[in-house]
Amino acid sequence: MNKIVGFIFLILLSIAFVHVQTGCANIIPPTGGPRDSLPPVLVASLPKDSSVNIKSNKILLTFDEYVLLDDNASQDIIVSPNPEKMPEITAKLKNVTIKLKDSLLPNTTYSVNFGSSLKDVNEGNKFRNFTYVFSTGDALSTGTLSGNVTLAETGAADSTLIVSLYTNLNDSAVKKLAPNYYTRLDSSGNFRFKFLPQAKFAVYVLPNDYSKKYDDSTKMFAFYNSSIDVTDKPDSIKLYAFQEQKPKEKITPPPSSADNKKDKAAEDKRLKLTTNIQSNEQDLLSDLALTLSRKIKTFDSARVMLVDTNYKAITGYTWLADTSFKKYSLQFAWPENEPYKLIIEKEAFTDSAGVTLSKNDTISFKTKREGQYGSVKLHFTKIDLAKNPVLQLVQSDVIIKSIVLTSADWYAKLFEPGEYQLRVLFDDNKNGIWDPGNFNAKRQPEIVERIRRKLVIKPNWDNDVDIIL
């Protein structure tokens, strides 16, 4: 009997122990599974997508989850043909409602491209380039047109531009009227129109601004040389965008407070001078430049002397003033690794008020060693020298050097080390610089081809590179 009681006691003790352990355990909620990364899915539409013989101006789209539109949806959504009045497009719960405000044209295919404005509520997954299509006629239009837009001056792409189509083929249409159709560019400058009617179009490129017209010659612009008939199923076309005139730089007015005027007046009494010498080293490939704080009326070159460390005068150099008369360049065939002094007397420079430098100055420097530069040889395959190619070496969108190519090879014994973007200008008028187009004269811009491979020049290194155009 005692054994049975003991056995029952052990069982009860075990149950109590298990209960206590379970009651003290941390409760871990179940995970929600993998994050939703899928965009919304259209499950129903009224009228049905791709329907024909439609008369209703109201469209209801239903998705498989709650959706919303971005704040900039009105700029992102493209309705084709381009309406006079933008439709009212709203999102609520799982529905998107489109109310077209223009009267529907007969036998016309309409499309609504949402761009990147449509997304789900929970995770913000975008339904990119979702397009709803319908026709007021018996069939959907099937005309297409595709191509690419490049910035003529740099060879780069600009996805902020749009391609516009006009059924009015007069040159004045793009200046006065809104386009009949337009579409965006992708990051590579590619575009594609779908559901176009069988018609002839004039093709232009413009900024995606409010007017969508060429009403300012400082706007980026491109035009195709002839009209295009989409019934001919044209191949991909190429357009080169340019600014016929550069916008004028905005001049910031000086401060108007009395204190600032006094400080400015005090500063103006002093004529200041700076040089382009860096780290006390003179570049072998460039001039020694002296830049003054104001326009100079009189420059006395006899009062600026280049000497060696023994103060012996150096000869064989010349001075060149730029058009602003603020910059004076000492042009000299610099030998490598040589020390110099530039002695500047204060009366060397005088402005229109008779103000000179505040004191005499001596600038000590040394020329660089050839080992601080790299040599570079470029070999261009398949280059057409009849197109007058000009090689452009670019850093931070600034042309560092331009070289007219007269053969397929180019060599420089000394070149500043660094990473360069390479471009080739095809210089039609042989003036060495890029020239924009002119729409009125029907002249296309000169073309610059951007080379994908970057040029990396290392110091004290022979850089030999093959370039394929």
| pLDDT greater than 50 at residue 335 | yes
Q: What percent of the chain has pLDDT over 90?
A: 82
Decide if pLDDT at 420 tops 90. yes
**pLDDT value of position 269:** 78
Domains and CATH numbers, the chain: 42-135 (2.60.40.1220), 143-241 (2.60.40.1120), 258-368 (2.60.40.3780), 373-468 (2.60.40.1120)
Name residue 339's beta-bridge partners: 366
The answer for residues whose C-beta is within 8 angstroms of residue 221's C-beta and 6 or more apart is: 204, 205, 206, 214, 241, 242, 243, 244, 439
Would you say residue 394 has pLDDT above 90? yes
pLDDT in tens, 235-248: 899 999 999 998 87
pLDDT by residue (tens digit) across 115-163? Answer: 999 999 999 999 999 999 999 999 999 999 999 999 999 999 999 999 9
Answer whether residue 22 shows pLDDT above 50. no
Per-residue pLDDT, 316? 96
pTM for the model stands at 0.81
pLDDT tens-digit map of 43-98: 999 999 999 999 999 999 999 999 999 988 988 999 999 999 999 999 999 999 99
What pLDDT score was predicted for residue 5?
A: 45
pLDDT tens by residue, 218-267: 999 999 999 999 887 778 999 999 999 988 766 555 555 555 555 555 55
Residue with tokens 């740099």: 154
| Mean pLDDT of the chain, nearest integer | 90
The mean pLDDT of 323-351, rounded to a whole number, is 97
pLDDT the model gives residue 33: 56
**Owner of token pair 């933008």:** 86
* Res 40 pLDDT > 50: yes
Summarize pLDDT for 198-221 with one digit per residue, the tens.
999 999 999 999 999 999 999 999
